[in-house]
A and B are shown apart, each in its own frame.
Chain A
Amino acid sequence: MNQSSPTFRLRVTRGGPGRGSRVEEYVIPWVEGMSLLEALFWIRENLDPSLAVRFSCRSANACKECSAHVDGTPAYLCVTRAQPGSTVRIEPLPRRRWLRDVAVVLNAEARS
């Protein structure tokens, strides 16, 4: 990767029940306006397609599928912007049944 192009780091919880939990760190080329969800897409396209995350509307904060813990606070990945030079921790939402990586069981009706 070109030294001069800006990057940032994501530290993402990987694994699932019965297979343990670990934190993987990824260095991601930053693009203007990039969201954390787009950063996870970049990982799935370029480094590891097995990364599990829920998403649907992608950038409109409408479907509420891409919720996760970002630096310890609940957030929607599609509306949280990546900052060049930063390191961001992404974890599955706590107190939900953990499926794998960032994906949990989302009980949609409970929030209707």
Chain B
Amino acid sequence: MAASFQHIETDVLVVGSGAAGMMAARAARDHGARVLIVDKSLLGRGGATVLAQMTVAVALGDAEPDDPTIHAADTVEGSRGMADPAIVAAIAERAPEVILEVERYGVHWARSHDGKHSQVVAPGHSRRRCVYVDVLNTGGALSAGLRKTIWRDPGIRHMSNVAITGIVVQDGVAVGAVGFRLQDLGPVSLGAAAVILATGGLTEIYARSSASANMTGDGYVLAVEAGARLRDMEMVQFFPIANLYPPLVGLDPIMWDPFRYKLGGRLLNGRHEEFMDSYAGEHAGQYITPRDTAAYAIFSEVRAGRGSPHGGAFLDFRMLAEDRLREAFGPVIDILARSGVDLTRDTVEVAPMAHFMLGGVEVDESMMTTVPGLWAVGELIAGMHGANRLSGNAITEALVSGRIAGEGAAHGGSGHPSAAAFDGPRRDEWERLQRFWHPREVAHDEVSIAALRKRLKRLMWEKAGPFRTEEQLAEALTELGQLEHSVTEAAMAREDSFPLSLLDKVDMRHMVLVSRAVLSSALLRRESRGAHVRLDYPGSEAPVSIIGCSTRGDGQWDVSMSSPLAEDVRR
């Protein structure tokens, strides 16, 4: 196929366009750099930010006295000993500034009657600290505001539907990226003095997942293959009370949480008994249990045979008057009514759902990876949340890490090679993709990668979800190997207009690789800590060990544990 190629040069290249990527682009531009931002989906619409309905933790001190050092201390405390205090401090410190900055882009944080920012408490935060945009519109408003501010700026170029498949590294320095255009299939190379990865998490590897479908772990693979390191890949946060039944459309599955917070909704087991008090000392009307403990409590009830009919817990608002419910839920009441749910009469079923990747790319407090010229931001990084993320800290991390990296990248790049230097990498990557997509010429896709993807998602949910054992993790690794073989062997039909099947195969390769990193790391951590629950090792070990992933350059990933439990496995 004689697909037309494209080469673009810029100072700072941003891959991914959620809050972290768009803020990185904005910050790099503010510091004088020419910026190019690309996304495999539509710019500013894919990813997790647009779905974020909840709150943002920031020590503004409007509701009560607060300080970034207290925010940082709460975050480290909540991380079960695994956050990197330097990263947490760097992010908490600049959170107030960045939250006020996005107000200028049209993000209207809710205000209380005295005109100050309305700040609410959330589990794990010792102060009323969390700002929000009404009604359930924090992520939507942020996406729209950031999109506008980067769109209007002639110094920021943007491209939707460009999938990045490799970082170009020359003499140990990241100098750009290669990939392909999806709308009219063709190879792309992008030269840059600095590259910022902002591709989000990997929750798409789980059958029950609250994030967008394009969160297939791309950035972890790009970073490792460029020579960077990952850590804490066993740490996946499961959101405790995501919707389970009845099925709802038009609502974020985790939307019950803010209402439970506002109204004190009760969690009941299958026998209609309250149970949170026996796990976390939480009583009716309260909302104090951190996410890891709440998810553990619900699934422990299910395992003990006390689950709701579909395998979760009941969420109950029936003790509240109808006008109180309508006031709190607003238009959501009508969406629920269309699904046949009347909260004055009905309970709903909720259960944990994969929500956020806690581990990720190892960075320092300037968000630079171990590869010069390569930064990572947002959900993709490790270090902010450790083994448990506090409510409200995700958007804080996205915005502040984006700003820090954008500023650093604008000043820290060292120039990039000439356009001619990208001819080779672009051609090599295109040829690799051709062999990967078309091992044989076929008229129709040999298998449905979408169907294999569904199998992988079920496998990871069943064997590497909220509860883990050595036996199940090992089984999952074996089955993952078989799935990987099916993916690698599959020959795809040629298609040059929006070839979704070809993107599926690229995404699926990433999902297989990051699933293996999750499984291998989870096997190695023979303890329970925060989001990582090993039924065969229920206690926590001290001192804390760190599990890292990197590649030896031959495509194999090493997963190893740092002392004190030094151990090395190669898979």
List A contacts of B148 (CB < 8 A): 112
Specify which chain B residues have a CB less than 8 angstroms from the CB of A46 in the assembled complex. Answer: 448, 451
Query: In A45-74, which residues have CB < 8 Å from any B CB?
Result: 45-46, 49-65
A102–chain B nearest beta-carbon distance, Å = 10
Q: How far is the CA of A112 from the CA of B251 in the complex (A)?
A: 21
Structural contact, A59 and B501, CB atoms closer than 8 A = no
Interface residues of A in 1-60 (CB under 8 A from B): 16-17, 32-35, 41, 44-46, 49-60
Q: Within residues 494 to 526 of chain B, which ones have a CB less than 8 A from any CB in chain A? A: 495, 497-501, 504
Total of A-B residue pairs, C-beta within 8 Å: 122
| Bound: A51/B501 CA distance, A | 8
Q: Are A63 and B45 in contact (CB under 8 A)?
A: yes
At the interface with chain A, which of B242-250, B258-266, B319-327?
B242-250
Which chain B residue has the least Cβ–Cβ distance from A109? Answer: B151
Q: Which residue of B lies closest to A76 (CB)?
A: B250
The B443-486 residues at the A interface (CB cut-off 8 A) are 444-445, 447-451, 454
How many residues on chain A are close to B (CB under 8 Å)? 40
Complex Cα–Cα for A15 and B151 (A) = 32
Instruction: Assess whether B247 is in contact with A62, with CB atoms less than 8 Å apart.
Output: no
| Contact of B66 with A by CB under 8 A | no
B501 touches A49 (CB 8 A): yes
Asked if B45 and A65 make an inter-chain contact with CB atoms under 8 angstroms apart, the answer reads yes
Contact flags (1/0) for B256-274 with A, using CB distance below 8 Å?
0000000000000000000
Q: List residues of chain B with CB within 8 A of the CB of A44.
A: 448, 450, 500
Tell me, in angstroms, the Cα distance from A28 to B422 when the chains sit together: 47
Asked whether any CB of chain A lies closer than 8 Å to the CB of B359, the reply is no
Tell whether, in the assembled complex, residue B250 and residue A60 are in contact, meaning their CB atoms are under 8 Å apart. Answer: yes
Looking at B139-147, B350-358, B404-412, the stretch in contact with chain A turns out to be B139-147
Would you call A90 an interface residue if the criterion is a C-beta within 8 Å of the partner chain's C-beta atoms? no
Partner of B495, one of A45, A50, A53: A50
B448: which A residues are within 8 A, CB to CB? 44-46, 49
Is B450's CB under 8 angstroms from A81's CB? no
Determine the chain A residues whose CB is within 8 A of the CB of B44 once the complex forms: 108, 112
Residues in B neighbouring A53, C-beta threshold 8 A: 500
Q: Are A35 and B249 in contact (CB under 8 A)?
A: yes
Interface status of B488 (Cβ within 8 A of chain A): no
A57 contacts B51, CB within 8 Å?
yes
* Nearest neighbor of B214 in chain A, beta-carbon distance: A56
Once bound together, how far apart are the Cα atoms of A46 and B447, in whole Å?
A: 9
A62-B252 CB under 8 A given contacts A32-B246, A49-B450, A50-B493: yes
In the assembled complex, B43 has its CB within 8 A of some CB on chain A = yes
Chain B residues, CB < 8 A from A17: 497
Bound form: Cα–Cα A4–B50 in Å = 40
Contacts of A88 in B (CB 8 A): none
Minimum Cβ distance to chain A for residue B317 (Å):
21
Set of chain A residues within 8 Å of B370, measured between Cβ atoms: none
Query: Quick one: which of A16, A32, A60, A105 contacts B252, CB cutoff 8 A?
Result: A60
**A51: chain B residues within 8 A (beta carbon):** 500
Q: Taking the nearest CB of chain A, how far is it from the CB of B263, in angstroms?
A: 21
Give chain A residues whose Cβ lies under 8 Å from the Cβ of B414: none
Within 8 A of B (CB), among A87-108: 99-101, 103, 105-106, 108
Q: What B residues does A55 contact at CB under 8 A?
A: 213
Say if the beta carbon of B293 comes within 8 Å of chain A.
no
Contacts A49-B445, A49-B450 known; A56 to B42 CB distance under 8 Å?
Answer: yes
| Residue from the list B46, B449, B497 in contact with A16, Cβ < 8 A | B497
Chain B residues whose CB sits within 8 angstroms of the CB of A112 once the complex forms: 44, 144, 147-148, 151
Q: Which residues of A contact B495 (CB under 8 A)?
A: 50, 100
Interface pair B249/A52, CB less than 8 Å apart: no
Query: Contact at A59–B500, with CB atoms within 8 Å?
Result: no
A62, B151: Cα distance in complex, Å: 19
In the complex, residue of chain B having the shortest beta-carbon distance to the beta carbon of A58: B213
**Given A49-B504, A58-B213, A99-B183 contact (CB < 8 Å):** yes
How long is the Cα–Cα vector from A103 to B444 in the complex, in angstroms? 19
Q: Whole-angstrom distance from the CB of B335 to the nearest CB of chain A? A: 9
B498 interface neighbour in A35, A58, A99, Cβ under 8 Å: A99
Q: Is B118 an interface residue (CB 8 A)?
A: no
| Cβ contacts under 8 Å, A41 to chain B | 450
Shortest CB distance B140–A (Å): 6
Residue interface bits B293-308, CB-to-A below 8 A is 1, else 0: 0000000000000000
A32 proximity list for chain B (CB < 8 A): 246-247
**Considering the complex, which residues of chain B in the window 130-185 have a beta carbon less than 8 Å from any beta carbon of chain A?**
139-140, 144, 147-148, 151, 160, 183
A residues at B contact (CB < 8 Å): 16-17, 32-35, 41, 44-46, 49-65, 78-81, 99-101, 103, 105-106, 108-109, 112
Name 18 interchain pairs, CB-CB below 8 A, sorted by A: A16-B497, A44-B450, A44-B500, A45-B450, A45-B451, A49-B448, A49-B449, A51-B500, A52-B500, A54-B42, A56-B42, A58-B212, A59-B253, A60-B51, A65-B41, A99-B498, A103-B500, A109-B43
